Amino acid sequence: MKKKVLAFMLAAMMTAGLTACGGSSPAGTDSPSAASGKSEAADSGSSEAADAAAGDLYFEELQHLIVAFPTWTGAPADTEMVTEKVNEILREKYNIEVEFQISDSGSYKQNMTLALSSGEQIDVLSTLFSSYSNMVNQGYLMDLEEDELLQTYGQGIIDVLGQEYIDACRVGGVLYGLTNTRDYAAGRGCIAVGTEYLDAVGYEAPADAGEIIKITEDELNDIFAKLHAQYPNLEVYRPAANDLVQQTMIDQIGGNNFGVLLGTSDELKIINLFESDEYMNFCKRVYNWNQLGYISKDAAADTTNVGTLVKENVLMAYGTGGKPGSKVQESTGDGRDMTIFQTREDYISSSSISSYPWVMPITTANPKASMILLNELYTNPQLADLIIYGIEGVHYEITEDGFLDANAGSSPDTYSTLNWLYPNQFASTVLVGNTADLWERTETFNNEAIKAPALGFAFDSTKIATELTSVTNVYEEYQKSLEYGFVDPEVGVPEMLEKMNNAGLQKIIDEKQAQLDAWAAAR
């Protein structure tokens, strides 16, 4: 992200009293919306590049580093081909090569837990679908400022993020992770629906509708009813594990649901989510959809990505996070035009900046090399396009006006990753279909969203680690049955809540409240 964008966003937050803890373009031109962002990314890494040229950052022996991150469906078919292109750049510049360990979203957390607990080499990883705080508490992560690693080999990262955004990822004052540049706000209550299905039932968007169409929950229910009547053999909606956050206004504290803030309140009051109307109403709505036949009977067990189901003409709608460019993002990923509806508000949660940072495990083979690699990921536009979208001409094409077409190329379906997960997606070329001011619109989106009163607060779960494990086990026993609509919430929620309370839920809530009170007092 451009430094000016980040700085402006931060200034707006602080004003509100919410301090947040070779290009692939033709003829060497970048897309209009990415040009200045790419220039700053390149500039911020220019000193490192100069040092590398002088041999200061070039290793005598080849450094083999393992980078782990998830996608929805696991490693793309052409991962090896793309990896070799990445390594051509890294070997020449630093004598570093990478190996990507890419897992699907459902197995990533387990794979990382097994690898880290057994001491396997992993040098850089994303904490998405895992728990950053739990990894810290387990002692799996390096202090990124140990021996001045970040200051010495990550100056480009500092230039891109700014110190305030770096500090937002501290736990107990120690820097274990680095946020990625992205939309920190998320449009809550967003549903992506195949446009062709909407056309078939006669839906007409309002004349003044923008990229995301604001509707009520009753209007959404009416749309689903018409879709089901028109296409009785297709699945109307597929729930997902993260729907609870995407479809409600809760603010997870510590990256879990065991004691939350409500996004509809400015109070710093931790509540028991599972006793709240917000949770019960969410479960009742999905239960009703399931009873009406909108949800597949196999939904809880089927791990197929929703984008794949949409491509295969099996599914019509699913939940997503709203943001500038989300229509293009979903349509590109699903291979068909998607319409985005929104029933709730845009919201920046307390942990938005620090929810899934990039980290260096203690099992890294070479901390210096790993930090140099991270710095390159944040500052090199060529690597950004490669790792996110693949190889130009094979997995995508660049249009005449400098945008990236991810559905072009000779083999566009054999490689793609999650652009919003990459360390600095703002160094990449903007997708075709977006406007030239995408990053500026993202700035406005972040600035205008409702901001959590605990923005920047980081919870340390060390004192309640045992209870957290026990309550998590109970939640995982009930989550899909309740949140996918297979069990009547009037029966299932009280049963789950009783077990959670016996497992120590109240102790977790009390500890969160105590730390939040101390944080608020210190401000």
Residues 173 and 33 both lie in one domain: yes
How far, CA to CA in Å, does 220 sit from each of 187, 225, 469?
16, 9, 37
Q: Identify the residue with better confidence: 20 or 126.
A: 126
Residue 11 has pLDDT above 60, yes or no: no
With a CB cutoff of 8 Å and minimum separation 6, the contacts of 465 are: 137
Residues 202 and 339 both lie in one domain: yes
Integer Cα distance of 419 and 477 in angstroms: 32
Report the DSSP pairing between strands 450-451 and 346-348. Answer: parallel
pLDDT of residue 9: 42
The token pair at 474 is 């109970």
Confidence of residue 31 (pLDDT cuts 50, 70, 90): very low
Residues 179 and 190 both lie in one domain: no
Instruction: Write the DSSP symbol of residue 194.
Output: E
Residues 293 and 373 both lie in one domain: no
Integer Cα distance of 58 and 198 in angstroms: 56
Residue 127 inside a domain? The answer is yes
Bridge partners of 170?
A: 175
Of 320, 348, 376, the domain-final residue: 348
Integer Cα distance of 260 and 459 in angstroms: 12
- Give the chain's radius of gyration (CA, Å): 23
Residue 510 inside a domain? The answer is no
Amino acid at 296: S
Residues 276 and 397 both lie in one domain: no
Integer Cα distance of 221 and 206 in angstroms: 17
Residue 509 inside a domain? The answer is no
Instruction: Write the DSSP symbol of residue 396.
Output: B
How far, CA to CA in Å, does 356 sit from each of 73, 254, 255, 438?
19, 11, 9, 23
Residues 337 and 190 both lie in one domain: yes
Phi/psi of residue 399, each to 5°?
A: -75, 170
Of 348, 383, 417, the domain-final residue: 348
Cβ neighbour number for residue 77 with a 10 Å cutoff: 10
Total domains, the chain: 2
The token pair at 80 is 């090896």
Residue 383 inside a domain? The answer is yes
Instruction: Write the DSSP symbol of residue 353.
Output: T
How far, CA to CA in Å, does 35 sit from each of 23, 178, 246, 374, 382?
11, 24, 31, 22, 13
Residue 27 has pLDDT above 70, yes or no: no
Percent of the chain beyond pLDDT 70? 89
HSE value, Cβ hemisphere, 13 Å, CA-based, for 174: 14
Confidence of residue 254 (pLDDT cuts 50, 70, 90): confident
Residues 154 and 111 both lie in one domain: yes
- At residue 5's C-alpha, the angle toward residues 4 and 11, to 5°, is 85
Phi/psi of residue 104, each to 5°?
A: -75, 160
174: left (phi over 0), alpha (psi -120 to 50) or beta: beta
Query: Is 270 within 8 Å of 453 (Cβ atoms)?
Result: no
Integer Cα distance of 316 and 229 in angstroms: 13
Confidence of residue 137 (pLDDT cuts 50, 70, 90): confident
**CATH code of the domain covering residue 148:** 3.40.190.10
Residues 242 and 168 both lie in one domain: no
Query: Is 185 within 8 Å of 446 (Cβ atoms)?
Result: yes
The three-class DSSP label of residue 270 is coil
Residue 25 has pLDDT above 70, yes or no: no
Integer Cα distance of 230 and 295 in angstroms: 15
Q: Which residue do the tokens 């510590």 mark?
A: 254
Answering whether pTM is above 0.85, one says no
Residue 511 has pLDDT above 60, yes or no: yes
The token pair at 469 is 């494990």
Integer Cα distance of 355 and 253 in angstroms: 10
Confidence of residue 170 (pLDDT cuts 50, 70, 90): confident
Q: Identify the residue with better confidence: 73 or 9.
A: 73
Residue 291 inside a domain? The answer is yes
Integer Cα distance of 288 and 326 in angstroms: 27
Integer Cα distance of 126 and 387 in angstroms: 14
Residues 379 and 420 both lie in one domain: yes
Mean pLDDT confidence for 419-436: 92
Residues 220 and 176 both lie in one domain: no
Confidence of residue 53 (pLDDT cuts 50, 70, 90): very low
Phi/psi of residue 261, each to 5°?
A: -105, 150
The token pair at 231 is 């296409």
pLDDT of residue 55: 56
- Tens of pLDDT, residue by residue over 205-247, are 998 888 999 999 999 999 999 999 999 999 999 999 889 999 9
Of 436, 451, 466, the domain-final residue: 451
Residue 23 has pLDDT above 70, yes or no: no
Q: Identify the residue with better confidence: 27 or 43.
A: 43
The token pair at 394 is 């094979």
Residue 486 inside a domain? The answer is no
pLDDT of residue 134: 84
Residues spanned by the domain of 311: 186-348
Query: Is 486 within 8 Å of 293 (Cβ atoms)?
Result: no
- Whose CA is closest to 222, among 186, 243, 191? 191
Residues 96 and 244 both lie in one domain: no
Of 26-30, 83-87, 276-280, 430-434, minimum mean pLDDT range: 26-30
Of 118-122, 168-172, 200-204, 503-507, minimum mean pLDDT range: 168-172
Residues 122 and 9 both lie in one domain: yes
Residue 109 inside a domain? The answer is yes
Residue 358 has pLDDT above 80, yes or no: yes
Whole-number average pLDDT of the chain = 89
- Tens of pLDDT, residue by residue over 439-477, are 789 878 988 999 899 987 888 888 999 999 999 999 999
Residue 490 inside a domain? The answer is no
Instruction: Write the DSSP symbol of residue 64.
Output: E
pLDDT of residue 50: 47
